[in-house]
Amino acid sequence: MNEQLLKYLQKRPKVYEPSTAKFWDDEHISKGMLEAHLNPNWDAATRNHEFVEKSVAWLKECVNPKAYANLLDIGCGPGIYAEKFYQSGYKVTGMDFSKRSIDYAIESANSKNFDIRYIYQNYLEMDFQNEYDIITLIYCDFGALSTMDRQKLLNNVYKALKPNGTFVVDVFSTNFNQSKKEEQSWSYHDGGYWSEKPHACFESFYRYDDDNTLLDQYIVLTNDDTNCYNIWNHLFTTDELIKDFSDAGFSDIQFFGDVTGNNYSENGDVICVKAKK
Ligand SMILES: C[S@@+](CC[C@H](N)C(=O)[O-])C[C@H]1O[C@@H](n2cnc3c(N)ncnc32)[C@H](O)[C@@H]1O
């Protein structure tokens, strides 16, 4: 086990090297994640719920649910946005590959009598054709994907939209963590976020400035195993977004400062893209 730990610590991961275990869909980690989603005041897994309300109001202004009703929220988590979209008049489908989040979302919708369809699926494998008026991917998840997966997802989304359909997605800009230096630290836990067992967590922050990409790496060591979680964050310029979205066929590519429709700023940490099929 020491050998495995040293192997991870000794070498700088290659850009977009995957984790060695599930993160979002892990039986234990997903418990802490769901708690983070549901806390209305945290900006952890879902942004604070006041922000969510503003986002939904802005989207409703952009794409009228009376005329363009079919909405797909990919990476929907426990359905916090999905329920508000439904209440705004959209016909909502939510997709996520966290079983715990999707189970929670289904139960919550049933308890409120909300007619929302939830699908437990990897959005990289979705295969819809001309079905949705609007597709959303919210909270900077697009940048966690490798270059190839981002292309694949853009193609999937483009295909899934009806002609003239709208895609709304937010990403981190190259201003995000611009001055943060590479660092490493470790901590011991009797049980906690990464594992219910006693564990040590070796945390590293790496910069891949040639690729505008950051890595938060967590190596988690228990008595039984060693897992390495690589959380990637690709940072975007508007030029890169225009190229990638145009290559996938999108037009009318607009930029905002966030998913509530604030004005785009060159100095902001976030870029929200709204584009048409
Ligand atoms: C940062 S959370 C955001 C959740 C939600 N959009 C929100 O803002 O409340 C990212 C979500 O995307 C889901 N996710 C990540 N990669 C995915 C994939 N390839 N397919 C489906 N869901 C994915 C995770 O399980 C998680 O629920």
For residue 120, the tally of other CB atoms under 10 A from its CB is 16
Radius of gyration of the chain (CA): 19
- Strand (E) or helix (H) holding 8: helix 2-10
Cα distances from 275 to residues 159, 170, 191, 235, in angstroms, run: 13, 12, 44, 19
- Pocket residues: Cβ below 6 A from ligand 1: 24, 37, 45-46, 75-77, 80-81, 95-98, 101, 122-124, 138-139, 141
Q: Which of ligand 1's atoms lies nearest the C-alpha of 138?
A: 6
Tell how far the Cα of 98 is from the centroid of ligand 1, in angstroms: 8
Tell how far the Cα of 75 is from the centroid of ligand 1, in angstroms: 3
Tell how far the Cα of 138 is from the centroid of ligand 1, in angstroms: 8
Distance CA 257, CA 267 (A): 9
Domains and CATH numbers, the chain: 2-21+177-233 (no CATH), 39-173+236-276 (3.40.50.150)
pTM of the model: 0.96
Nearest 10 degrees: Cα torsion 264, 267, 271, 276: 40
Which residue positions in the chain have pLDDT lower than 70? 1
Angle of CA points 144, 148, 149, to nearest 5°: 50
Q: Are 108 and 78 in contact (CB under 8 A)?
A: yes
Residue 227 identity (one-letter amino acid): N
Pick the residue whose CA is nearest to atom 19 on ligand 1: 122
- Residue 1 is predicted with a pLDDT of 61
Tell how far the Cα of 76 is from the centroid of ligand 1, in angstroms: 6
Pick the residue whose CA is nearest to atom 14 on ligand 1: 75
Pick the residue whose CA is nearest to atom 4 on ligand 1: 77
Tell how far the Cα of 231 is from the centroid of ligand 1, in angstroms: 13
Which of 35, 51, 141, 154 to mutate to test ligand 1, by most ligand atoms within 8 A of the CB atom? Answer: 141
- Residue 43 is predicted with a pLDDT of 83
Which of 24, 92, 216, 230 to mutate to test ligand 1, by most ligand atoms within 8 A of the CB atom? Answer: 24
- Residue 268 is predicted with a pLDDT of 97
Judging by DSSP bridges, how do beta strands 132-137 and 70-74 pair with one another?
Answer: parallel
Distance CA 228, CA 19 (A): 6
Measured over the CA atoms of residue 24, residue 28, residue 34 and residue 36, the dihedral's sign is: negative
